[in-house]
Amino acid sequence: MDLSKFIFELEKLNINESIEDKGILKGCFMAGNPGAGKSYSLTKIKSGQIEPRIVNTDKFVEFLGKELGLDKIAQEWGKYGKRIKQLNNNQLAMYLNSLLPLWIDGTSSSPNSVFRRQGILKSIGYDTAMIWVETSLETALKRNRQRDRQVPDEFIEETYEKIQDLKPYYKSEFKNFFEIRNDEGELNNETILEAYRKVNSFFNSDVENPIGKKLIKEMRKKGHKYLIDTEEYEMKSIKRLVSSWCQK
């Protein structure tokens, strides 16, 4: 498989959304401990009116895994990890060029990573939010044992404690912080509806970031559709901006 060709085709991908679409310059982080069910919760609360793009290297791991096998990628991460991150960053650069709404799905155990990514988005003009998916340790351990890609129980236990300690910090740093309880039987219709309303309100609200407000005004005035239409940005500069996205 020629990954260079795949990246090239990815870069040519035409994304039709632009300055006049709903949800632009909005990015929502999915957070919580391993086994909390972040991806499953996301499928329940996302709206059909606005379709944020998911930013997560896992999809590229799975893409390569179908060709090479997940075990091979894990054993030779030094060889494949760099390309996986490159694929992720190239796709993210295109999303940002179109100002698209985003779901950012990744580890919340590293505040450095979370706030570096938040800083990248805010520097362009994005408003940011965080959805915290909460479960008990027992539930997290049970779900991990049911997954195809399991990790040791000790890792779940250590990460769970660390992430719980970080929760108040994230809550204080994100103006828009939404919590979902997802223990067994808790993700019911009432919980889903409440979370949906909060998230939908965030993505449909006017941009509050002063950089984003100014950007939207100028782009509409000049008839610009994408970031690279402006004088401030070109694709190289956007890719340079997101180059640190996957750093730990």
pLDDT in tens, 38-97: 888 888 887 667 889 989 877 777 767 677 676 766 776 777 778 888 888 999 999 999
The whole-angstrom separation of Cα 218 and Cα 212 is 10
107 band by pLDDT with thresholds 50, 70 and 90 = low
19 band by pLDDT with thresholds 50, 70 and 90 = confident
- Non-local CB neighbours of 75 within 8 Å, separated by 6+ positions: none
At 40, give phi and psi (nearest 5°): -65, -45
What pLDDT does 1 receive? 47
* Token representation of residue 88: 């992720």
Tell me the pTM.
0.85
- Non-local CB neighbours of 45 within 8 Å, separated by 6+ positions: 131, 180, 192, 195, 196, 199
Residue 119 has pLDDT above 80, yes or no: yes
What pLDDT does 61 receive? 72
The residue with tokens 């909060």 is 198
Q: Coil, strand or helix: which one is 133?
A: strand
The answer to whether residues 166 and 109 touch, using CB atoms and an 8 Å cutoff, is yes
Residues 120-136 have a mean pLDDT of: 94
The whole-angstrom separation of Cα 220 and Cα 215 is 9
131 band by pLDDT with thresholds 50, 70 and 90 = very high
Residue 27 has pLDDT above 90, yes or no: yes
Residue 14 has pLDDT above 50, yes or no: no
Q: What is the pLDDT of residues 148-171, one digit of tens each?
A: 777 788 888 888 899 999 999 999
What pLDDT does 212 receive? 97
What pLDDT does 47 receive? 64
What pLDDT does 202 receive? 94
Q: Coil, strand or helix: which one is 149?
A: coil
Q: What is the pLDDT of residues 186-239, one digit of tens each?
A: 888 888 888 888 889 999 999 999 999 999 999 999 999 999 999 999 999 999
What pLDDT does 81 receive? 76
- Out of 3.40.50.300, 3.20.20.70, 3.40.50.2300, 1.20.1250.20, select the CATH number for domain 3-244: 3.40.50.300
Higher pLDDT among residues 107 and 135, named by residue: 135
Question: How large is the C-alpha radius of gyration of the chain?
Answer: 19
Q: What percent of the chain has pLDDT over 70?
A: 86
